[in-house]
Amino acid sequence: MSVVQAYRFALDLSPAQERAVLGHAGAARVAYNWGLARVKAVLDQRAAERSYGIGDDQLTPAPGWTLPALRQAWNTAKEDAAPWWRDYSKEAYNTGLDALARGLKNWADSRSGKRSGRPVGFPRFKSRRRSTPAVRFTTGAIRVEPDRKHVVLPRLGRLKLHESARKLARRLQAGTARILSATVRRDGRRWYVSFTCEVQRARRTPARPCATVGVDLGVMHVAVLSTGVLVPNPRHLDAALRKLRRISRALSRKVGPDRRAHRDASKRWCRTRTALGRAHARVANLRRDGLHKLTTRLATGYGTIVVEDLNVAGMLRGRRLARRITDAGFAEIRRQLVYKTDWYGGRLVVADRWCPSSNTCSACGAVRTKLTLSERTFTCTTCGLVLDRDVNAARNLAALAATVAGSGPETLNGRRADRKTPPAGLVAVKRLPGTATADKTGTVPPQGRTSDHAPTAAS
């Protein structure tokens, strides 16, 4: 099985190497801003000509914003736009132009209706202070050294790694991996190199291929399994809030940059901002580590995993639980389960957004008409079942797997309703006709139900 997989390693750069990487990232930003200014000027000119009553056939020719067109225009104008262009690799300019081409395409597709989801705005210029320095290499000498402690990149030379690259080196030596590109990026005041590789993975089978588990995501417990296992929510952001507030307060009292007054930031402001970035990066790393361990345990242990199709964007509109929902990482859990179930030979079933999993009794199938968020114990008035609310919902999700056909990595169960489901038992849910498979990106068309664990904006 051939998959595209990324391997990410931390770098230990010398001051000279860090300046070289920053120069390449700056070259990418210059090419991006140059192309955006060119496209924007032509679009503004065409809009002005239309306001004068000029016909469409007499307007200024529309600019080409595909990557080949932008690259050809850059090669023509780079002597005047960037006389120093020979100091950096051509891949740096290609990085900026490729990001601009993708941004313009997403904006155009969003306006024409080809792209679903939230409307995509017009690309904006990148700032040296606010943008994340990054550069990608697709050609040239890209390899891992035999000592597995160094990597070689075009124009940057031999860079030392903070950790061993043995996982990637073993696959490269065995011939089961091929490097497609390498991206150097600064994240949380530390530099990383990410290798995008085409990997040949062996077919694997979960430990219990016939077992099914329902996963109910929440805030009190990040995941509740139908087997009764409660995965606690570590709440890394809440634990670090006191430190983050203290550093943010100290940063606000330092002399920061002011572009209008042509004032540079003080060294103390820069040091404090670095400390703030490290604190945020630590929270992100802790969250990422916990979610990877959870999703890997699920994907390797169960043949079928059932999760809900949560409207995370709608849940974040509620100001009370938005921060805790973001800290839990619902969307990241779903994203990781999509590709990990494919890796380990399992199946991911996505329950319909309108499925009343929390309101339905997992024993008899009776549906309660109302279940407030404060009721953490589900009590069935028909059969007398008394069970934890989240465990009951997880069992209902696991029961849905029996009604779903298909062997793809992600299967959507439900009828794609556009309004709330009327009171009905789980038996009615089992009679839903047909299933639909998600697209190649693993996305599902947005619908309007919110989570059972968070109030909506109206509430």
Higher pLDDT: 60 or 414? It is: 60
User: What are the tens digits of pLDDT across the range 422-438?
Assistant: 333 333 333 233 333 33
Q: pLDDT tier at 446 (50, 70, 90 boundaries)?
A: very low
- Residue 309: per-residue pLDDT: 86
Does one domain contain both 214 and 363? yes
Do 89 and 228 lie in one domain? The reply is no
Q: Can you read off the two tokens belonging to residue 213? A: 């588990």
The percent helix, strand, coil of the chain (3-state, each to 5) is 40, 20, 40
Q: Are residues 347 and 220 in the same domain?
A: yes
Residue 353 lies in a domain: yes
> For residues 375 and 403, is the Cβ–Cβ distance under 8 A?
no
Examine the domain organization and report whether 367 and 219 are in the same domain: yes
Q: Give the pLDDT score at 63.
A: 85
Q: Which of 459 and 207 is assigned the larger pLDDT?
A: 207
Which amino acid is it at 87?
D
The answer to whether residue 97 is domain-embedded is yes
**Contact criterion met (CB below 8 Å) for 282 and 189:** no
Total number of domains constituting the chain: 2
* 18 among known catalytic residues: no
Residue 416: pLDDT band (50, 70, 90) is: very low
Percent of the chain residues topping a pLDDT of 90: 55
Using alpha carbons only, how large is the chain's radius of gyration in Å?
26
Q: Which of 91, 98, 216, 327 is labelled catalytic? A: 216
Task: Report the SS3 class of residue 15.
Answer: helix
Domain boundary among 112, 135, 159: 112
Is 216 an annotated catalytic residue? yes
| Per-residue pLDDT tens over the stretch 307-350 | 988 888 888 888 788 888 888 988 899 999 999 999 999 999 99
pLDDT at 280 over 70: yes
316 & 432 share domain: yes
Annotated active-site residue 198? The verdict is: no
Residue 455 falls inside a structural domain: no
Per-chain mean pLDDT for the chain:
85
- Which of 90, 112, 134 represents a domain boundary (last residue)? 112
Instruction: Please check whether residue 166 lies inside any domain of the structure.
Output: no
| Of the residues 112, 133, 156, the one at which a domain ends | 112
The answer to whether 346 and 303 have CB atoms below 8 angstroms apart is yes
> Are 104 and 214 contained in the same domain?
no
Mean pLDDT, range 61-68, rounded to an integer: 89
Please tell me the least confidently modeled range out of 36-40, 105-109, 242-246, 402-406.
Answer: 402-406
- Classify residue 160: in a domain, yes or no: no
pLDDT score recorded for residue 316: 85
Q: Does a structural domain hold residue 105? A: yes
Which structural domain range is residue 71 located in? 30-112
Query: What's the CA gap between 159 and 156, in Å, rounded?
Result: 8
Instruction: Please report which helix (H) or strand (E) contains residue 193, including its range.
Output: strand 190-200
Strand locations in 23-175 (E): 134-137, 143-144, 150-153, 157-161
pLDDT digits (tens, 9 = 90+) for 96-105: 999 999 999 9
Of 91, 98, 309, 390, the active-site residue reads 390
Domain presence at residue 164: no
* Domain assignment present for 343: yes
Q: Is residue 374 classed as helix, strand or coil in its secondary structure?
A: coil
Catalytic residue among 91, 308, 410, 452: 308
